[in-house]
Structure 1
Amino acid sequence: MTVFYVICFDVHDAKRLRKVSNEMENFGVRVQRSVFECHLESGQLQELKRRLDKLMNPTEDQVRYYNLCGKDKLHIVIDGSGRVSADPDYNLL
Structure 2
Amino acid sequence: MREEHLYLVTYDISDQKRWRRVFNVMNGFGEWLQLSVFQCRLNRRRHAELVALLDGMIHHDQDHVLFVDLGPAEQVNPRVVSLGKDFEAVTRKPIVI
* TM-score, with length taken from structure 1: 0.87
Aligned partners of 1:14 and 1:39: how far apart in 2? 26
Gapped regions of structure 1 (runs ≥ 5): none
Trace 1:14-93 onto structure 2 (pairs within 5 A).
Answer: 14-69=16-71, 70-73=75-78, 75-88=79-92
Aligned partners of 1:50 and 1:71: how far apart in 2? 25
Shift of 1:8: 0.1
Question: What fraction of aligned residue pairs are identical, expressed as a percent?
Answer: 29
Cα RMSD, aligned residues only: 1.5
Aligned partners of 2:60 and 2:84: how far apart in 1? 33
Query: Aligned to 1:21, what secondary structure does the other structure show?
Result: helix
Aligned residue pairs: how many?
89
The one-letter code matched in structure 2 to 1:82 is D
Runs of 4+ in 1 over 6 A off after TM superposition: none
* TM-score, with length taken from structure 2: 0.84
Gapped regions of structure 2 (runs ≥ 5): none
Q: Which moved more, 1:76-85 or 1:31-40?
A: 76-85
Shift of 1:54: 1.1
Aligned partners of 1:33 and 1:66: how far apart in 2? 17
Contact 2:9 2:38 in 1 (8 A): yes
Between Structure 1 and Structure 2, which shows a larger proportion of helix residues? 1
Query: Aligned to 1:76, what secondary structure does the other structure show?
Result: coil
Contact 1:31 1:82 in 2 (8 A): no
Aligned partners of 1:71 and 1:47: how far apart in 2? 22
